[in-house]
């Protein structure tokens, strides 16, 4: 056990995306590895944009990935009293002040600053005003004047220093009185005892001002570890136009959670030359020290490769369960068809996703085979009739459809027809599956079973 306390704090304004999932995973892994605590906190201070739907979507995705939290989920929307009290405290201590500048004024100043090539930041207009007019106002945190710069040692990036002249007095409470992100994140992390903040790279710039807030509020400052961003193939920030960015979209596309976890962890982290990691491996091997410092490009092809790996090596019974919804959505019922687990086994090394597997499995469960046009014209020709009849007769004699019996049956068939195996197998494959690509003929025969196989051969003969 250790006293490590980490957290993942998504804002519920949409689904859980790839980047967030990776951040959550890193937090989770480190907590598990060190016997620490992983806290989940929903950052819903922006009431207008936060939705229950998003909260549910995020929770679902976390569950799918297997990232269960030790504490939470906590909701910031339920903690406004605490924040209000802290704002009041800062106001009383003279560490914050009311600002009456309007949105329009600020926008204009910001634009002007940008245009003049200056860093757009609040000019402190209301900082020293002594009156307290009865007008709408926000509350700003007064940048401490006793220090020139703030430095922190990031666990991933190393020492980072920001000069205070780059900072300004940030808004900690909006006109409507609700607190803003930089304030609540500090209060919550402190109150929840978080001692290592692992979050996205995009927060590096916020960190110095948050440290100042920790100090102003009398909290101990935690450690920080900023993980690099995930980019799209064009090196731009990953977004929808690069393809699916929602974790759950990958579930819908037939990906396995262990593939997603494995992919995500290897994007920006490595352990020698190893590529394949189970969750248990990761809990044992993960470390912040081995997290890279630069942004990485999301590579769907590698994810797909991992997915095919996990399908190939996965437990067929479990895969069969996972496959059912995909079959159902194709209108395929497995009720009184062949054994689904056997069907899955025959497809494991030829499907990269559950969707592909469902497509590949469809023929097993249809009532009557429909032939692909090309396959039919090439392999189901009238002159094949004797071959099919021999097939039917010999297979009929086969007491059980198991490997060695099928083999001897085929030896006989090859003898009678004087044809090579391939000349028999391919037409039979079309008769059995409707197409030219499928698991091996013996497997298909076995999975289908004797009755179904024979009736499909008869169907083929009738079609000639």
Q: What residues are annotated to the active site?
A: 240
Q: Least Å distance between CB 46 and RNA? A: 3
By rule CB under 7 A, what count of residues binds RNA? 87
Using alpha carbons, select from 448, 445, 430 the residue that is nearest to residue 375.
430
- Site for RNA (CB under 7 A): which residue of 131, 134, 301, 451? 301
Does 21 bind RNA (CB under 7 A)? Our answer is no
- Site for RNA (CB under 7 A): which residue of 2, 3, 35, 49? 49
Q: Identify which of residues 240 and 333 has a Cβ nearer to RNA in the complex.
A: 240
Does 316 bind RNA (CB under 7 A)? Our answer is no
Q: Identify which of residues 273 and 418 has a Cβ nearer to RNA in the complex.
A: 273
Which residues in 407-426 contact RNA (CB under 7 A)? 421-422, 425-426
Q: 318 by DSSP, 3-state: which?
A: helix
Q: Least Å distance between CB 50 and RNA? A: 8
Does 318 bind RNA (CB under 7 A)? Our answer is no
Q: Least Å distance between CB 294 and RNA? A: 3
Q: Identify which of residues 5 and 157 has a Cβ nearer to RNA in the complex.
A: 157
36 and 5 in contact (C-beta within 8 Å)? yes
> Which residues partner with 291 through β-bridges?
269
Which residues in 360-389 contact RNA (CB under 7 A)? none
Rounded to whole angstroms, the Cα distance separating 454 from 446 reads 12
Which distant-in-sequence residues (6+ apart) come within 8 Å of 216 by Cβ? 90, 93, 95, 141, 144
Q: Least Å distance between CB 268 and RNA? A: 3
Rounded to whole angstroms, the Cα distance separating 314 from 309 reads 8
Choose the binding region for RNA from 63-71, 78-86, 308-316, 319-327 (rule: CB under 7 A): 308-316
Which residues in 103-162 contact RNA (CB under 7 A)? 103, 106, 110, 114, 117-122, 136, 138, 157-162
Choose the binding region for RNA from 189-197, 293-301, 327-335, 387-395 (rule: CB under 7 A): 293-301
Q: Least Å distance between CB 336 and RNA? A: 26
User: Which is it for the CA torsion 41, 46, 48, 54, positive or negative?
Assistant: negative
Rounded to whole angstroms, the Cα distance separating 113 from 30 reads 43
Rounded to whole angstroms, the Cα distance separating 15 from 9 reads 13
- Site for RNA (CB under 7 A): which residue of 17, 32, 86, 266? 266
DSSP state of 141: E
DSSP state of 375: H
Q: Least Å distance between CB 3 and RNA? A: 26
Q: Identify which of residues 172 and 279 has a Cβ nearer to RNA in the complex.
A: 172
Q: Identify which of residues 37 and 262 has a Cβ nearer to RNA in the complex.
A: 262
3-state DSSP of 325-374: HHHHHCCCCCCCCCCHHHHHHHHHHHCCCHHHHHHHHHHHHCCCCCCCHH
Rounded to whole angstroms, the Cα distance separating 153 from 274 reads 29
395 and 464 in contact (C-beta within 8 Å)? no
- How, if at all, do strands 149-154 and 296-297 pair? unpaired
Does 350 bind RNA (CB under 7 A)? Our answer is yes
Q: Identify which of residues 163 and 385 has a Cβ nearer to RNA in the complex.
A: 163
């Amino acid at each position: 056990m250790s006293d490590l306390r980490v957290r993942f704090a998504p804002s519920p304004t949409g689904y859980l995306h790839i980047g967030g999932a990776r951040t959550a995973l890193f937090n989770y892994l480190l907590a598990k590895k060190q016997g620490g605590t992983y806290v989940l906190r929903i950052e819903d201070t922006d009431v207008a944009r936060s939705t229950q739907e998003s909260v549910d979507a995020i929770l679902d995705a976390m569950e799918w990935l297997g990232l269960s939290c030790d504490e939470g989920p906590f909701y910031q929307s339920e903690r406004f009293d605490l924040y209000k009290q802290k704002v009041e405290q800062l106001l009383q201590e003279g560490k914050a002040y009311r600002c009456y500048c309007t949105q329009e004024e600020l926008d204009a100043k910001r634009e002007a600053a940008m245009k003049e090539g200056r860093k757009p930041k609040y000019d402190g207009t209301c900082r020293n005003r002594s009156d307290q007019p009865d007008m709408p106002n926000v509350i700003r945190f007064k940048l401490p004047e006793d220090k020139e710069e703030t430095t922190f040692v990031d666990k991933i990036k190393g020492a980072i220093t920001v000069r205070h002249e780059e900072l300004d007095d940030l808004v900690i409470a909006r006109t409507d009185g609700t607190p803003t992100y930089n304030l609540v994140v500090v209060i919550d992390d402190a109150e929840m005892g978080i001692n290592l903040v692992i979050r996205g790279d995009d927060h590096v710039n916020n960190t110095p001002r948050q440290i100042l807030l920790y100090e102003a509020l009398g909290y101990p400052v935690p450690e920080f570890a900023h993980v690099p961003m995930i980019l799209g193939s064009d090196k731009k920030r990953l977004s929808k136009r690069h393809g699916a960015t929602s974790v759950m979209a990958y579930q819908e596309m037939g990906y396995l959670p262990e593939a997603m976890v494995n992919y995500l962890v290897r994007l920006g982290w490595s352990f020698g030359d190893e590529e394949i990691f189970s969750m248990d491996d990761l809990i044992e091997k993960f470390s912040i020290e081995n997290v890279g410092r630069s942004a990485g490009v999301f590579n769907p092809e590698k994810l797909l490769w991992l997915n095919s790996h996990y399908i190939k090596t996965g437990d067929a019974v479990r895969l069969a369960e996972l496959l059912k919804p995909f079959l159902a959505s194709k209108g395929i019922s497995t009720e009184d068809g062949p054994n689904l687990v056997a069907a899955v086994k025959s497809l494991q090394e030829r499907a990269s996703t559950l969707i592909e597997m469902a497509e590949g499995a469809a023929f097993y469960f249809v009532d009557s085979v429909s032939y692909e046009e090309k396959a039919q014209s090439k392999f189901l020709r009238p002159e094949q009739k004797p071959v099919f009849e021999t097939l039917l007769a010999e297979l009929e004699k086969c007491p059980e459809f198991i490997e060695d019996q099928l083999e001897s049956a085929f030896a006989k068939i090859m003898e009678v027809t004087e044809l090579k195996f391939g000349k028999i197998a391919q037409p039979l494959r079309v008769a059995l599956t409707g197409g030219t690509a499928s698991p091996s003929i013996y497997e298909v025969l076995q999975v289908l079973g004797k009755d179904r196989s024979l009736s499909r051969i008869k169907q083929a003969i009738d079609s000639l």
